[in-house]
Amino acid sequence: MSQPPPSARRSAVHLLDEILGEGRLLADLLGSSALEDLAPADRARAQRLATETLRGLERADRLLARHLRKAPPLHVRNILRLGTVELCTGGDAHGVVNDLVALVAGHRRYGRLKGLVNAVLRKMTSEGPRTWPDLRVPRLPRWLRAPLLDAYGAQAVAAMERAHFAGAPLDLTARDEPETLAARLGGTLLPTGTIRLANGGQVSALPGFRDGAFWVQDAAAALPARLLAPQEGEAALDLCAAPGGKTLQMAAAGARVTAVDLSAPRMARVEENLARTGLSATCVVGDALEYAGGPFDAILLDAPCSATGTIRRHPDLPHARDGSGIGALIDLQRALLDHALGLLAPGGRLVFCTCSLLPDEGECQVEDALARHPGLRVDRAAGDRPGVDPSWMTEEGGLRLRPDYWPEAGGMDGFYMACLRHG
């Protein structure tokens, strides 16, 4: 029996199979051309269907458990999950059911289960939309929820989970004149200077994209470079630079930027964005731990981390990871921070940041660095930036951002950042 032709739903199920069955991250799948056979519009739709299914996975499984005596094979279960989420969130019942039944019918191993898929999804067309809103907000997996409860308490974690379930709007950083660009795009200018679009659509089709007026960057991710505040003509270093938003910020400020990253494909994207925006930086593909340039007036180290602060944008992460690699990441962060401090010019400053919600990858790293390096201090004044809430300041002097902040405006990614100086 031949496979159906490529479609958005079929490709979305493939993404779910890889993420939930093989522990692969969505970004890696997209980077390996998992959707290359689709037209751009279908590619975007497949990605949206997969991410919405991952966000609603717990609810979908609760509803499906009422109609399944035993769990079907993962591929079939993912078809049912995707269909359940679509049906419960406004999808056209006829199109969803027919398409997904045809999808399983065309599978050489699971075609015999088309009757099950048809029966379950038809039940879901009437029951699902009515029951869906009454189910609890999906919770984080235990490996992540437990340490977050210890760090922030149940009320804050529940608020973060609501933010994750809601997803994220599109945030942009303007090359210059953010007020003008916000008006041009019909967006909201956030207090920290980021432009937010509730429904951004295809980024490359937005006015100003082709002439490099902006780049995509979450409001929280834009703050580390603003803490660093690079100046015209300063020698600045962006360690672990990809995807490059912070490099662009520093270059737009007039600094002489060197960007270092281990990944050649990701650095190629940085170079593309530099060309599109008309900005310049020296791009180096290599291990940040071995980079020996400088000295630099300003260094930004966005260290590799668990990325647990980005779940509202990347709902695959808690399903594809189990927390087992965090210890090694903490060791790498410590080594990178020590190495980066050695590249600073006298009187220079370094911003250390991670897109993690775990204090071990943020506050604790800075506290330990202060203990290892006599004379090192946190520049608390660096955090006094437009739009920064004083309540975000942590005991050691950094900033802790969380997904549940700014709930009325659409939230932000989880981040930690601190500006360090010698003496």
3-state secondary structure of 55: helix
- Could you tell me the CA-to-CA distances from 333 to 27, 328, 396 in Å, in that order? 22, 9, 18
Burial 321-348 (b: 16+ CB within 10 A, else e): bebeebeebbebbbebbebbbebbeeeb
3-state secondary structure of 352: strand
| Strand ranges in 306-394 using DSSP code E only, listed in sequence order | 344-354, 376-378
Q: How far apart are CA 172 and CA 182, in angstroms?
A: 9
Q: Is 355 a catalytic residue?
A: yes
Phi-psi map region of 153: left, alpha, beta (phi>0 left; psi -120 to 50 alpha)? left
Which of these is catalytic: 283, 305, 355, 419? 355
Beta-strand relationship, 235-239 and 296-302:
parallel
Beta bridge partners of 283: 259
- Select from 312, 44, 1 the least CA-distant residue to 167: 312
- Select from 55, 135, 171 the least CA-distant residue to 415: 171
Question: In three state form, how does the secondary structure of 202-231 look?
Answer: CHHHCCCCCCCCEEECCCCCCHHHHHHCCC
Is-contact 197 159, C-beta < 8 A? Answer: no
Helix (H) or strand (E) holding 421: strand 415-422
Burial 29-48 (b: 16+ CB within 10 A, else e): bbeeebbeebeeebbebbbe
Catalytic positions are 355
